[in-house]
């Protein structure tokens, strides 16, 4: 299964990608997570990405495309992947298409998560993320058992630097301008499918898995 999850910040891409990856035995590849790991590890890539991320702007295409090409070349991604947060611009989508043509393994489906603006602002400002394993919670919708402590690994839960209201609003603006054109790009190729991404997390998962089973070989 070769799938992309498309949708605005806060649509639930990361939350659902973990479940989709597990259901189909494919790697979950989140460019945002890779950047955050690099920021934590204080690598050169992390240093370069951080100033864009903190402002809610996109990291330049050439940086992201090279990083994803390396990741997709790893053995676990040969038979499939669930991409979360990539591509985010038309040049990134074009680069991915070229890469997959070369591998003779085209994309099978692009799932667009539908959710409205007010809901995503509310989700993102309430999000809490684990500093150690990256697991995602929400202060009200998906609280951890013990406040401030990750259920999965016991790590500390914090608010992401880019989840403050002003940066969230800029990220949504950047999404509208730079990422929304991908909807047309994939619609033209007959790959775009919609999932209603509001309501209980489990119900969204059921809808997404139901759709993706049509593509599972
Ligand atoms: P990235 O990490 O990809 O952030 P994003 O796209 O802004 O998406 P989010 O992670 O904020 O949202 P999500 O859809 O994953 O939602 P989640 O499941 O967490 O990118 C960060 C930055 O890195 C970018 O701004 C950019 O600088 C850089 N970057 C990354 N990729 C790049 C690229 N390709 N090109 C250039 N730059 C790039 O859920 C959100 C919250 O809602 C959580 O608290 C969750 O618990 C809650 N929630 C989830 N589902 C539900 C539900 N059904 N009901 C209620 N609450 C829910
Ligand atoms: Mg995410």
Q: Is 88 a catalytic residue?
A: yes
How crowded is residue 165: how many other Cβ atoms within 10 Å of its Cβ? Answer: 10
Percent with pLDDT over 90 in the chain: 93
In the predicted model, is pLDDT for residue 152 greater than 90? yes
Q: Is 44 a catalytic residue?
A: no
Which residue in this structure is represented by tokens 């498309």? 6
pTM, entire model: 0.95
In the predicted model, is pLDDT for residue 155 greater than 90? yes
Q: In what order do the strands lie in the sheet with 28-30?
A: 28-30, 81-84, 2-6, 109-114, 192-196
**Quick one: CA torsion of 31, 184, 97, 50, rounded to 10 degrees?**
-20
The C-alpha atoms of residue 123 and residue 108 are separated, in whole angstroms, by: 29
Set out the domains of the chain in order of their start, with CATH numbers.
2-27+74-115+172-212 (3.40.50.300)
Residues around ion ligand 2, judged by CB within 5 A, are 14
Residue nearest (by alpha carbon) to ligand 1 atom 26: 58
Q: Check residue 141 and give its pLDDT.
A: 87
Sign of CA dihedral 155, 159, 162, 163: positive
Residue nearest (by alpha carbon) to ligand 1 atom 20: 32
Q: Check residue 216 and give its pLDDT.
A: 83
Ligand number, closest to the Cα atom of 33: 1
CA of 33 to the centre of ligand 1 (A): 9
């Amino acid at each position: 299964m070769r799938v992309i999850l498309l949708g605005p910040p806060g649509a639930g891409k990361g939350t659902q990608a973990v479940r989709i990856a597990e259901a189909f035995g494919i790697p979950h590849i989140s460019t945002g997570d890779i950047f955050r790991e690099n920021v934590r590890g204080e690598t050169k890539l992390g240093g370069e990405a951080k100033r864009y991320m903190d402002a809610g702007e996109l990291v330049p295409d050439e940086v992201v495309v090279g990083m994803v090409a390396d990741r997709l070349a790893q053995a676990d991604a040969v038979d499939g992947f669930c991409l979360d947060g990539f591509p985010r611009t038309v040049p990134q989508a074009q680069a991915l298409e070229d890469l997959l043509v070369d591998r003779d393994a085209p994309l099978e489906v692009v799932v667009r998560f539908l959710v409205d603006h007010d809901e995503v602002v509310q989700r993102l400002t309430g999000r809490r993320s684990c500093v150690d394993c990256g697991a995602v919670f929400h202060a009200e919708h998906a609280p951890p058992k013990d406040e401030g402590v990750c259920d999965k690994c016991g790590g500390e839960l914090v608010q992401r630097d880019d989840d403050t209201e002003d940066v969230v609003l800029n990220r949504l603006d950047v999404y509208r301008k730079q990422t929304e054109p991908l909807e047309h790009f994939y619609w033209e190729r007959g790959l775009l499918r919609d999932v209603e991404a509001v309501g209980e997390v489990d119900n969204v998962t059921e809808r997404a898995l139901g759709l993706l089973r049509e593509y599972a070989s």
